[in-house]
Amino acid sequence: LPAVTKALAQWVFSHPYNIKRPEVTKYLQPFQLSPETLQEVSARLRKDLLRGLGKHSHHKAPVKMLPTFVRATPDGTEKGDFLALDLGGTNFRVLHVRVEEEAQKVQICAIPQEMMLGTGEQLFDHIATCLGDFLESHNLKGQTLPLGFTFSFPCEQLEIDKSILIRWTKGFNCSGVEGKDVVQLLKEAIHRRGDYHIGSVAMVNDTVGTMMSCGYKDQSCEIGMIIGTGTNACYMEEIKNVKRIEGKDGRMCINTEWGGFGDDGCLDDILTEFDVEVDKTSINPGVHIFEKMISGMYLGEIVRLVLVKMTKDKLLFKGQISEALGTPGRFETKFISEIEDGLENAKKILTELGLDWDLVDASVVRLVCDTISSRSAYLCAAALATLVNRIRNNRKLGHLKTTVGVDGTVYRKHPTFSSKLQKAVRLLAPQCDITFLVSEDGSGTGAAMVTAVAYFCASILIQWMV
Ligand code: BGC
């Protein structure tokens, strides 16, 4: 890095806590990635994007680079009345949307953990029940509305309404779904009930939905990024570079599935013993290694493992591990945001976890949270820098101005995550000027737009097939 950038990097990557227990640094150093390491991570991802796009290398590539058949971003004139299902984030949601009015009705349905690990038939029956209840309570049962299905797992998309699940991620592992067409499974479940009908179905990944919903507001949005329960991004690639697709002209949105980066061992040198443990005890060991260093499903558990180790080594809580701290999954990722947000929050959470803490303990815990969430932000920055640099090179531009549509609880809820990510990406992609646009989720217009996007994708595909 040049000298000025180095000074800037020192500022970006510095941490604000003054800890009076210097022994803790040795536990945290492995998480502190230098700007040079992040550049190296970015370079490795650059190679993996090419492997994923290649005709003969894609089937073995850890970063899948899945074509989505979306060939254009919205122009802001899309209209319509839709139903939408959203599976794969923090909540399962059913929505009714009128795009041009930005009006929507939303219902959130819990998916119990047994169901996430049960049979595919149970899961899709549950989804069909939630949709049926929603139609009933909103007097929509007689209508046949088109349905947008945001299904946030890696899928090989064959048509807009034919999408084969490659594998489950993020704590889902329902039997009999991998290798199957997810739209078909949904239609069969609705058919089994037989009390309502749906119109045409369009499937989208959440990254694509985010890119398109933000693209409705800002036409230069060409990247969609999620940092929530899982992490992933999509972007507009030149079709001539997507070797699995016939054709040379124009662009297509590629769902990178960057969560799988590192699945071939190429990130092993930066994994900590805690990452290895989180992977080993997950329901899908060996897969989605990058996602496991970054996303909300795993961050809390990484922090917990570090705290347990420090406590065992008598550096925290007078050496006493409470029952809660000793329980996998009990340290939630949302605690990280809360703890970093203020010392009072930290004290409250440590008390609730049954820990005998003092003030230095509380500040060490804040430093641990800061270190692990910062690593997540910087790794995302490295990956995003790879994408924007690629778009710039593709177009042979000296300077690229673009917009990234972003969603996900980690990005939205953490107090400093977004600013750290943005600063780091500016350093790692200095020739790119990036605007970040948060797609407002839940009751906001973003979720409504996901459905419009689905409709929009369908119309694009029809145009494309004709
Ligand atoms: C899935 C992606 C999804 C991401 C964010 C990952 O686990 O593989 O398809 O976009 O989570 O929800």
- Does the pLDDT at position 457 exceed 70? no
- Does the pLDDT at position 460 exceed 60? no
Ramachandran region, residue 237 (left: φ > 0; alpha: ψ -120 to 50; beta: rest) = beta
Mean pLDDT within 22-42: 93
The reply to whether 72 falls in a domain is no
The reply to whether 3 falls in a domain is no
Best residue for ligand 1 mutational test, from 63, 167, 226, 263 (most atoms within 8 Å of Cβ): 226
Half-sphere exposure of 341 (CA within 13 A, CB side): 11
Mean pLDDT within 53-58: 94
Q: Using CA positions, which residue lies closest to atom 9 of ligand 1?
A: 153
Give me ligand 1 centre to Cα 232, in Å: 5
Mean pLDDT within 324-333: 98
In a shared domain, residues 218 and 264: yes
pLDDT of residue 220: 92
For the CA of 291, the nearest atom of ligand 1: 7
The reply to whether 10 falls in a domain is no
Give me ligand 1 centre to Cα 118, in Å: 20
| DSSP 8-state class, residue 396 | T
The reply to whether 39 falls in a domain is yes
| Number of structural domains the chain divides into | 2
pLDDT tens-digit series, residues 65-112:
999 878 776 666 666 778 888 898 767 888 887 766 665 788 888 899
Predicted TM-score (pTM) above 0.95: no
For the CA of 288, the nearest atom of ligand 1: 7
Residues with CB under 6 A from ligand 1: 88-89, 152-154, 169-170, 205-207, 226, 228, 230-232, 257, 259, 291
Q: How confident is the model at residue 293 (pLDDT cuts 50, 70, 90)?
A: very high
In a shared domain, residues 398 and 347: yes
Show the beta-strand stretches assigned E in 47-137: 66-67, 81-87, 92-98, 103-109
Q: The tokens 């994923």 sit on which residue?
A: 52
Q: Give the SS3 label for residue 81.
A: strand
For the CA of 260, the nearest atom of ligand 1: 8
In a shared domain, residues 199 and 215: no
In a shared domain, residues 88 and 222: no
In a shared domain, residues 313 and 264: yes
For the CA of 155, the nearest atom of ligand 1: 9
Mean pLDDT within 27-38: 94
- Does the pLDDT at position 224 exceed 60? yes
CA distance 111 to 105: 19
pLDDT of residue 101: 66
The reply to whether 249 falls in a domain is yes
Q: Give the SS3 label for residue 142.
A: coil
**Overall size of the chain counted in residues:** 466
In a shared domain, residues 242 and 367: yes
pLDDT of residue 461: 44
In a shared domain, residues 217 and 85: no
Q: Using CA positions, which residue lies closest to atom 6 of ligand 1?
A: 230
Return all residues near 386 (Cβ < 8 A) that are at least 6 apart.
Answer: 42, 45, 46, 49
The residues assigned a catalytic role are 170, 206
Mean pLDDT of the chain: 89
Give me ligand 1 centre to Cα 225, in Å: 10
pLDDT of residue 446: 42
pLDDT of residue 17: 63
Give me ligand 1 centre to Cα 288, in Å: 10
Q: Using CA positions, which residue lies closest to atom 2 of ligand 1?
A: 153
In a shared domain, residues 322 and 381: yes
pLDDT tens-digit series, residues 248-288:
889 999 999 999 999 999 999 999 999 999 999 999 999 99
Best residue for ligand 1 mutational test, from 90, 151, 169, 223 (most atoms within 8 Å of Cβ): 169
Q: The tokens 């190296």 sit on which residue?
A: 40
Burial 22-41 (b: 16+ CB within 10 A, else e): eebeebbebbebebeebeeb
At 45, which CATH number?
Answer: 3.40.367.20
> Could you tell me which residues are beta bridge partners of residue 86?
93, 150
Which token pair is 350? 């440590």
pLDDT of residue 245: 85
In a shared domain, residues 133 and 269: no
Q: Are 30 and 375 in contact (CB under 8 A)?
A: no
Give me ligand 1 centre to Cα 296, in Å: 12
At 153, which CATH number?
Answer: 3.30.420.40
pLDDT of residue 79: 67
pLDDT of residue 77: 67
The reply to whether 8 falls in a domain is no
* Residue-range definition of the domain harbouring residue 109: 81-204+442-465
Name the residue type at position 88: G
pLDDT of residue 209: 85
pLDDT of residue 444: 34
In a shared domain, residues 200 and 214: no
In a shared domain, residues 158 and 279: no
The reply to whether 228 falls in a domain is yes
Best residue for ligand 1 mutational test, from 205, 225, 380 (most atoms within 8 Å of Cβ): 205
Give me ligand 1 centre to Cα 206, in Å: 7
In a shared domain, residues 260 and 369: yes
The reply to whether 435 falls in a domain is no
pLDDT tens-digit series, residues 159-207:
878 999 999 999 999 999 999 999 999 999 999 999 999 988 888 899 9
